[in-house]
C-alpha cells in the first residue's frame, strides 16, 4: 500500500513550457485534490475531483488543467509555465471529501517542488 504518490519530486521549467505533474493513490479514494504551498500563504486549493470524470475548480485554478479518467490517477497540467507558478505542489486524497455527518481526513503525497525560470 503506497498511499499517495507524486512524480517528479523536483522539476525546473522555463517560462512557456508545459508539463504534467502526476498523482496516484491506491486507497480507492473518491476525492482527490491539488494544492500549492507558498511561504506565508499556507496551502491553496487548485482543482479537485469527487470521482472519476468529475472535476471542479478550487481557489487558484488559472493556468492549470486537470482530468480524472480513473479513480487512481489525478494529473495536474501546467499549460504554459510562468514564474508565479514556482511552488511546492501537493496532491491529496480522501474517501468522500467532507459530507454531512461524516468527515474523512485527507492523505497527502510527498510533494513536487517546481521552479519556473
Partner 1 sequence: AQSVAQPEDQVNVAEGNPLTVKCTYSVSGNPYLFWYVQYPNRGLQFLLKYITGDNLVKGSYGFEAEFNKSQTSFHLKKPSALVSDSALYFCAACRATGTASKLTFGTGTRLQVTL
Contact between 2 and partner 1 by CB under 8 A: the answer reads no
Do residues 9 and 112 make contact, with C-beta atoms less than 8 angstroms apart? yes
Burial status of residue 18 (CB atoms within 10 A of its CB: 0-12, 13-18, 19 or more): exposed
Query: Based on CB atoms, which residue is closest to partner 1, 14 or 40?
Result: 40
Query: Based on CB atoms, which residue is closest to partner 1, 49 or 85?
Result: 49
Residues in the interface with partner 1 (CB under 8 A) total: 31
Contact between 48 and partner 1 by CB under 8 A: the answer reads yes
Query: Based on CB atoms, which residue is closest to partner 1, 16 or 110?
Result: 110
Contact between 115 and partner 1 by CB under 8 A: the answer reads no
Tallying the residues shown for the chain, one arrives at: 117
Contact between 64 and partner 1 by CB under 8 A: the answer reads no
CA–CA distance, 96 with 84 (Å, rounded to integer): 31
Contact between 42 and partner 1 by CB under 8 A: the answer reads yes
Q: Which of 1, 14, 28, 105 binds partner 1 (CB under 8 A)?
A: 105
Query: Based on CB atoms, which residue is closest to partner 1, 91 or 116?
Result: 91
CA–CA distance, 76 with 40 (Å, rounded to integer): 23
CA–CA distance, 26 with 46 (Å, rounded to integer): 22
Amino acid at each position: 500500500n503506497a498511499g499517495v504518490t507524486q512524480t517528479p519530486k523536483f522539476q525546473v521549467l522555463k517560462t512557456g513550457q508545459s508539463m504534467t505533474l502526476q498523482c496516484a493513490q491506491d486507497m480507492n479514494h473518491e476525492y482527490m485534490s491539488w494544492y500549492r504551498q507558498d511561504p506565508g500563504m499556507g496551502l491553496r486549493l487548485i482543482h479537485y475531483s469527487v470521482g472519476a470524470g468529475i472535476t471542479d475548480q478550487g481557489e487558484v485554478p488559472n493556468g492549470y488543467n486537470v482530468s480524472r479518467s480513473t479513480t487512481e490517477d489525478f494529473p495536474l497540467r501546467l499549460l504554459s509555465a510562468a514564474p508565479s507558478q514556482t511552488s511546492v505542489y501537493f496532491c491529496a486524497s480522501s474517501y468522500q471529501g467532507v459530507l454531512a455527518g461524516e468527515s474523512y481526513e485527507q492523505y497527502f503525497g510527498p510533494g513536487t517542488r517546481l521552479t519556473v525560470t
